[in-house]
A and B are shown apart, each in its own frame.
Chain A
Amino acid sequence: MPLIAFYILGAIVALSAVLVVAARNPVHSVLWLICAFFTSAGLLVLIGAEFLAMLLVVVYVGAVAVLFLFVVMMLDVDFVELKQGFQNYVVSGAAIALILFAEIGVIAASIGPGSNATMDPSPGADTNAEAIGAVLYTDYLLLFQLAGLILLIAMIGAIVLTLRGRPRAKRQNIAEQTGRKRKDAVELRDVRPGEGV
């Protein structure tokens, strides 16, 4: 049963990964990418790593891909022109693909064909989340914190790059707006007919 599920999910992942590249419409590409992410989360559930699966969905599908879609929809890029440069990237793209396949091959070879090694999604703990937390916050605490720091720097960098001081920009002071009272804004006048204010 899990084997059937694995083959179905794997086929969907592979197919949607191909379609990410093959789709003509960039928005469709992103949608196929989301499909690939989501199905990979299903694969993770299949090996019992439910915590990782949920994180994959929250982070990649729920946040990263939303921004991706956002940008692709907003940008008015001429994709026909972009596709014409395709040949220039073939060599580097093929090299990356080769390296990735080699890595998978090395791992597969180290396990060896026909070995009955099974995967343990939560070594030394009851649940997946506990196992990951125990490793992240003890053995790799420094690296984990460093990764967070790098992300923080990237975030600040993005803000600094896009922040331009626009002196004439219109800004609202919310405290001033909500602190406004009736007597500062409205005045009741007794107007006589035909005389005006």
Chain B
Amino acid sequence: METLIQWGGGVWGGIGLAVLQIAAFLLVLLLGIAFLLWMDRKVLAAVMMRKGPNVVGPFGLLQSFADFLKFVLKEIVIPAGANKTVFLLAPILSTTLALVTWAVIPVAPGWVISDLNVGILYIFAISSLGVYGIIMGGWASNSKYPFLGGLRSAAQMVSYEVSIGFVIVTVLLLVGSMNLTDIVNAQAGGFWNWHAFLLTPEKLPLFPVMFAMFVIFFVSALAETNRPPFDLPEAESELVAGYQVEYSSTPFLLLFLGEQVAITLMCALATILFFGGWHAPFPVPIAADLPAWLTSLGSFAIFVVKVVFFFFIFALVRALVPRYRYDQLMRLGWKIFLPTSLVAVIVVSAYVVFLQPGMEA
């Protein structure tokens, strides 16, 4: 790395290194998502007692790649009367924004592209832009169903962002930092330090609050990513396929990919905020003796296992829970989650100011 920076003469070497890191990260992420998609379909199939994809490759493992080829080779159809620029910009925007967010996600100790001090705020900011891809796509299609889907989605995402924001604030208050690496390191030691299960004696009073926050975060993540049971923007029984109706071929692939990347991001975020990131559920005594690269790799494996676990739950929810009605969705967001998370912010900040050792003002 040092030689690369010197070879490129400072700035350019640094940029080259960053590009290499990003390329490697993207490669792993997109390959992982290809298999996660396969898993999603297999879980859905298993719940429905079907076999699911099983033709391409062993156990249908390569199905996603076959789908990818098919998407890319099809003709791009742009509806007459569509606003061409915005129509094509929307899928590009949604994929780019979903991928850009991963820049601050630490996947193992030190394995992060940009260790921002305001990392969690960055994620919140960029993911709040994800809605543009959907609104723009819905509007530019110049068609009724996509437009309705886009509007539904905008209202839904704006509503659930608010409670996600407050849930994140409770975690920030406990950790005292907006850096994601700090948030993960604050949960080291064992699962009783994870924010979802605060079972240490001094933090026990916060356990019910933080567990409720974890549940709210998970459900809001489902709503934020338009996953069932909150997939009203693309409710096929009412809106055909919502904002994606007019999309075909590569633009559709990009919209779909952006959605999947955002879902995986939410899984990673749940892992980092509430499930201890790359830390093992129990202290590993031999970890100190292992070489650094092995602990890094082990941590990465633990992180991936947790993300896959959350993705599995996402897939199960999709298979098991019936779709919400729109008024129920809005009621849940504004009348239940928002007040609960607001109260939790007050409770957690009171705890941090008055009870947390070493924080007395």
Contact = CB atoms under 8 A, between A and B. Distances in A.
Interface string B147-164: 100010010001001000
Contact of A54 (B118, B139, B151, B158): B118
A172 B125 contact: no
A132 B158 CA distance: 26
B118 A31 contact: no
27 contacts: A1-B11, A25-B83, A27-B86, A27-B139, A28-B86, A31-B86, A31-B136, A50-B116, A51-B118, A51-B121, A54-B122, A54-B124, A57-B125, A57-B126, A58-B121, A61-B125, A62-B161, A63-B158, A66-B135, A70-B135, A70-B151, A70-B154, A73-B151, A74-B151, A129-B118, A129-B178, A174-B328
Interface residues on A, range: 20 to 34
Contacts of A73: 135, 139, 147, 151
Given A27-B86, A54-B124, A174-B328, 18 more contacts: A25-B83, A27-B139, A34-B132, A50-B118, A51-B118, A54-B118, A55-B121, A57-B128, A58-B125, A61-B125, A63-B128, A63-B161, A70-B135, A73-B135, A73-B147, A74-B151, A127-B117, A128-B118
A54 B121 contact: yes
Contacts of B129: 57, 61-62
Q: Tell me which of B86, B125, B136, B328 has the highest count of chain A C-beta atoms within 10 A of its own C-beta.
A: B125
Q: Is the interface of A mostly helix, strand, loop or mixed?
A: helix
Contacts of A57: 125-126, 128-129
Contacts of B83: 25, 27
A25 B84 CA distance: 13
Main SS of the interface on chain B? Answer: helix
Interface in A58-115: 58, 61-63, 66-67, 69-70, 73-74
Contacts of A58: 121, 124-125, 128
Contacts of B178: 129
Interface in B104-140: 116-118, 121-122, 124-126, 128-129, 131-132, 135-136, 139
A-B pairs, 4 with minimum CB distance: A62-B128, A57-B125, A54-B121, A58-B125
Interface residues of B, number: 27
B331 interface: yes
A128 B122 CA distance: 14
Contacts of B86: 27-28, 31
A127 B126 CA distance: 21
A55 B122 CA distance: 9
B350 to A, nearest CB: 16
B116 A69 contact: no
Interface string A37-54: 000010000000011001
Nearest to B155: A70
A69 B135 contact: yes
Nearest to B130: A62
Contacts of A66: 131-132, 135, 154, 158
A51 B178 CA distance: 10
A57 B128 CA distance: 8
B134 to A, nearest CB: 10
Nearest to B85: A28
B360 interface: no
Given A54-B125, A63-B158, A70-B135, A174 B331 contact: yes
